[in-house]
Structure 1
Amino acid sequence: ALQPCKPCDDEFFQDGGNSGCSYSVTQSQVYVQTNGNKPHVYQQSYMERSGPGGLKEMKKMVLDSEKGKKCCVGRKLGEKAHVVQREEDPRGTLLEEHQDLYNLEENSE
């Protein structure tokens, strides 16, 4: 199974007290091919950006050519936040999608 995606990291929900803008990206990739077998690719990325007024956005993705893809996207403005998690099998078939709303009502977006 895919490793759990933690879209709701404590850092995502903390107000940094920073009224400026910031942008951060972390990526890694591993490619393995042995004895002429099908290659195994593992990629992981994390992007976070923030702006004035408590605006924050993050995206985390894990792609494993044998296990599938898991993606989390979160957007936050002040005390309100919306987080979406998606999981797909290696063929791209959607297995699960989950949305979390924080201090929001379902029809207020």
Structure 2
Amino acid sequence: MAATVVLEIFTRYADGQPVGAICKDINSRYVFGKTKCKQFTTEYIYSLIKNRRFMGEYRFGDVVIPNGMPAIVSEELFNKVQDRLKNHKNRKEDESNEKE
């Protein structure tokens, strides 16, 4: 997968765009024949934006090496995305608790 697509996904999510809209747009503009799936899914995008390797963190078993590989996104952008994910999760949990 091209680094430019990964960076675009992180940036758009950090800017507040919904994953479904990002997924639909990426699938309409790109063809990824060598990926495991022929089209992106929302689940795939969620797993991608949680993956610390995109900010350069290399992990092998219990060994974690910061900057152990080239970073595609900055730590600042990665953390902004993680904050939004956390807030989104908390909002969903709050909504489900209100329904009970």
State the TM bucket, normalised to the shorter chain: under 0.3
More helix by share: 2
- TM-score by length of structure 2 reads 0.27
Q: Which has the higher contact order (CA 8 A, sep 6+)?
A: 2
Flag the structure with larger Rg: 1
- TM-score by length of structure 1 reads 0.26
